[in-house]
Structure 1
């Protein structure tokens, strides 16, 4: 969409707007939003964290992504490591850039905004690969990640307090671009 600009996002300042996007895109409750707010703000203090937002000309945030260089000591890595080890893929935790969150409002999905967000942020990475977790369902999100070169590395992955299992996916960088981009 030509009327949506993708640029660096001050995630601390716009955390509530970002979480409103995530709530609509991912179906979060108010309690889940409150927990995620604390997680996002804690992440923003870590070295190498970057965020990009997709905003309309009126300044409305319609999508965002944030990520960071992976650290095996981070909570996410400690949870997924045994699953990755079982599949022989735990080396993906080293020298990887983690996509922590990527969400686009439903009305703006399917318009290339998610692709712009994830490619812009991964283009800033010094690491040779990227990893993320996605719900372990055959969904438009999983097809989207596969179109970017992500492959399944481990599933099902069970996060504490998450009722639905996840899949850990990884891709070499840079991510592929459609012709003409």
Structure 2
């Protein structure tokens, strides 16, 4: 018997995973990290850490012996580091704000859809209540039935009195 050759290029079989030299990254993971970073930048802890870092830098480079100073006054290297930190922090904060605005937009759409359903449900219930009120208006009440029976009894009594 001849074995049939399996065609691996057909659509019946999945392709094998190919390795690529191109790095892959999850944009949501980067977005989540940027939100955490932006939240950290807005905390008192960050301000305390940054203040301690800058004070340590200035004190060390201001009062240490000249051979141990690595950034002499006017602290150009410190200025460079702070500028780099700000240049990376600003886009990360904007990315976090964009993600938040996307979540807010989605939440707004969901709220609007829920409000529309609530309005439709309220209108339906109002129509049902109106139909029940009109149906109750056609139902004989106890007082109406009592007065009709009383009138009928009076008529019967009058007819009996006329015959006697």
> Which TM-score band applies after superposition, normalised by the shorter structure?
under 0.3
- Higher CA-based Rg: 2
Structure richer in strand, relative to its length: 1
Structure richer in helix, relative to its length: 2
Q: TM-score, normalised by structure 1?
A: 0.16
